[in-house]
Chain A
């Protein structure tokens, strides 16, 4: 096991730190994203449609902050973080349910 090239994925997958910098950084990021969302939305800095896309984009960024800064999503003892496959398939279902429901249920709603 002295060979560095033997098990590179496993040895690098766990994040190790003496002080919780990652958590503090994640907290500051999540506060900043929320504050920006509040400012951008409540100040009505743009049209409704633009605000919708910007604050949804900020919310999606918050998923990544939580997953990478707090949930340790990349960490595993298996060499590959298999939970990422579960998450991707879950997100496919989420997108399908939400987007198709909105599309079907509001289809032609602007006309009536």
Chain B
């Protein structure tokens, strides 16, 4: 069996399993966990466009989550606009924000870029926490915004069961993965990777590195904002620390880094591994040992960065290839 086709088969199997799961499993709790898992995988994959492909370290991406969440929620609560349209509006606002913050900062050294993204996200959070009304828009400061669970239906993006949410975020995740795959195998992808690794050489080969990074930033901010709307509609309650917090920004970045930024599977693998770990430690040790899951997180980060800076997807994919290889050879031997 050739590796390429065996990859496609396993991907198809995984996709089938994911899509078929709600038909056989009805536990709302587990669906909830999976929904959040896909949510984080989506966020890390979108982050990867800037953090992985463009090679910089954005640590304030939750700002875009917040922009998406607040935009669609305000438009819905105050003007009755469907959150699906609000999603697009949020995405556009996020693009504008991404341009404003990206244009001056993407030229800077990596460390300074990281600091700028933090300052931007924290500045935004502080402002949202302190503004009750911005012109005609009610932001409600630290109390946040609540969406009353009265208007169920597709247009209002509200459902009584978790299953529709499951499919929506799963489809979003699949789409964003396909997009990432297409970009990686495109002129933009090659240019981004080159510019991230050796900017001077890339420029001499015709790559406008700063512009490519900006394009990546814009795409990433748009996609991230969409997830913000999803979160708002899923939890029906948003407040500054939940959607524009530094914790969220860091968590997204670290999951992607541990999984392996720059690769397509890395961020998803990171989410698959770390989210359950974090949920598990929080549920079982949360009361007796608060903060343990973050210690584990931090430890994982330090160890992975020291020993496998490209992320765990590298040893994992090598391991996977070995197994496929063995199975393939076994199949050939049995045929003979």
Chain B associates with chain A: no
